[in-house]
Amino acid sequence: MRRLHKAPRPLRAAGLICSLVALLGAGCVASASAATYAVSSSTGATLVPGVDDAGNHCDDCTSTLALPFDVTFAGVTYTSAALSSNGNLQFSGGDNQTMGTVPYGPMGPTIFAYWYDLYTSDAASGQGVFTTTTGVAPHRSFVIEWRATECCSAGTPTYDFELVLREDSPAITVVYGAMESGDQNIAVQAGPSDYTVFDTGGPGGPVGPGRSVTFTPDQTAPVTTDDVGGGWSTTPVAVTLTPTDAGSGVDATYYTTDGSTPTTASAVYDPGARPELADGERIRYFSTDVDGNAESVQTSPAAHVDAVAPVTVDDVPAAVQAGPVTATLTATDVGSGVDATYYTTDGDVPTTASAVYDPAHRPVLAGGERIRYFSTDVAGNAGTVQASAVVTAEVPAPAPPAAPGAAPVPGPAASAPVPPGPAASLAWLHVSLPVLTIAPRSARFAADLPAGTTTFALARSFGHGHTVTTAAVHARLPLARTTVRTTSAGRVRVTLRLSAFGRRILARHPRARLVLRTFYVAPDGSRAHSTRVVSRRSTPALSPR
């Protein structure tokens, strides 16, 4: 015994079948569409004799048979059927074909108990079709028994078999008694593309006394899953629903996203146009199979969607400070929460490869520095890069200018701490502030710096691999330009020239200041700096000590 054929989902409607049945004088109640039957066989069965004569005594004829209870076949519920003398029960037809091959389209939905050219005309010899009802509602069984000969022989029946229909189950059983032969068609046919045949040439065949064959429809509902996880997304979550059905196959999946319970009138899932969930939304869904089995409604986890980036602020003051500033960065995120804050203090644009802000080890900004930063959240949103105010550090005032013609008077010198490590043996820079008069068209100074194991250089901004750095700033604008060259003696000649803007500021604004800052980076990465203010009408000079 084996299932010989199961075509793809049949294209038919229960309402159309009922209309055809009505034209033939039979009755049915529209229900679900097609069914898929599994077939099995066993021995030891006993015939339950039919008692009531169905009035079918003929050769190749059908007669209308009223059913004692609603019978569901192939997903459709019927109240009557066409009884054929040739061993079959038709639910939408009345065809008298003697024998043939399943599927046989003209008969429509049919149970072939034993489709053969049979003869039931000799009522006197006991031929005919007989029925009986056993059990108590709602657990009754309806027995239809054929007692016949091969056409067209009168006399004692040589074929005795019966079809058993149940009130509480869609399963169909055929029980066999004495059989002259047992190798004809035994099958159920829901339609021309949906049928199941019992192989009388295989195990369990040919049929004979005590043999029973049972056709059981698919009664297992599909199982459907979703892929809505618990993680965060920066965009609405596109949902994939995956239904599976090992029986008749999935017919459709229905869903809602508004919290209501889905029905077969709800939206039908289309993998080519997946539904999307906003933050906090859930999808509710269920699937049906071709046999009409429906699973219970399932509900996904809530979607987590955060499309808003974190907001980060700093507390670096714009006002002049007495010394270096310790920067505090505060990030907030109303969605998935802050993941990390990244920053730089060397003027570069920060990325996710930059330093990560740690409130327990806050960055320290010296004069002229600013911090650039941004934050990311758990969902992956990144804020725009922000920049703090430039730190302006307060330093001591310079010495007063000397009288015209007098020798320059050295001002106070500031020395930076010697960095630890290998740089300790290097000569350190000090800033001397002699009182010099600014020339009307060219304000500059030059100094020779000692060469050493670490190369010295001078630049307008900090960083860029230079070991010694100088900058001149006022109100965050450049006041001077610097040049660096190596002398024939192996020393570094540094020249600083005031810009036209710088000269105007110092000449016209009595309170304007020129800030000169030297910056040293040791080979081990440690840094130190020294800052002095040069008053107007004086220019600084660098000298090593």
pLDDT in tens, 424-435: 222 223 333 232
CB 62 within 8 A of CB 84: yes
**What's the sign of the alpha-carbon dihedral 62, 66, 68, 69?**
positive
Query: What topology does CATH give the domain 223-305?
Result: Immunoglobulin-like (2.60.40)
Q: 543: part of which helix (H) or strand (E)?
A: strand 541-544
Location of structure tokens 């700096």: 529
Band of residue 192 on the pLDDT scale cut at 50, 70, 90? confident
Most distant CA pair in the chain, distance: 156
The hierarchical CATH code for the domain 414-544 is 2.60.40
User: Under 8 Å CB-to-CB from 392, ≥6 apart: which residues?
Assistant: 318, 319, 320, 321, 367, 368
Check residue 294 and report its DSSP letter. B
CB 118 within 8 A of CB 146: yes
pLDDT of residue 538: 41
Band of residue 56 on the pLDDT scale cut at 50, 70, 90? very high
Query: Does position 233 have pLDDT exceeding 60, yes or no?
Result: yes
CB 109 within 8 A of CB 80: no
Band of residue 481 on the pLDDT scale cut at 50, 70, 90? low
* Most confident range, picked from 221-235, 407-421, 444-458: 221-235
The model carries a pTM of: 0.56
Band of residue 173 on the pLDDT scale cut at 50, 70, 90? very high
Task: Select from 400, 418, 395 the least CA-distant residue to 410.
Answer: 400
pLDDT tens digits along 260-277: 999 999 999 999 999 999
Query: Does position 409 have pLDDT exceeding 50, yes or no?
Result: no
Query: Does position 278 have pLDDT exceeding 90, yes or no?
Result: yes
pLDDT of residue 507: 64
pLDDT of residue 396: 46
Residues forming a β-bridge with 268: 254
Location of structure tokens 């000269």: 503
Location of structure tokens 């049972």: 214
CB 448 within 8 A of CB 487: yes
Query: Does position 112 have pLDDT exceeding 80, yes or no?
Result: yes
In the chain, where are the structural domains located?
Answer: 14-217, 223-305, 311-387, 414-544
- Other CB atoms within 10 A of residue 321 CB: 15
pLDDT of residue 311: 97
3-state helix, strand, coil in the chain (%, to 5): 5, 40, 55
C-alpha 27/C-alpha 33 separation (Å) is 17
- How many helices, marked H, and strands, marked E, lie in the chain? 2, 43
Average pLDDT, the chain: 77
pLDDT of residue 494: 52
pLDDT of residue 500: 65
Domain 223-305 identical in fold to domain 414-544? yes
pLDDT of residue 373: 98
pLDDT tens digits along 236-261: 999 999 999 988 889 999 999 999 99
CB 7 within 8 A of CB 194: yes
Q: Which residue has the higher pLDDT, 2 or 371?
A: 371
User: Under 8 Å CB-to-CB from 16, ≥6 apart: which residues?
Assistant: none
pLDDT tens digits along 501-538: 666 656 665 555 554 554 444 445 555 454 444 443 44
> For the chain, what's the residue count?
545
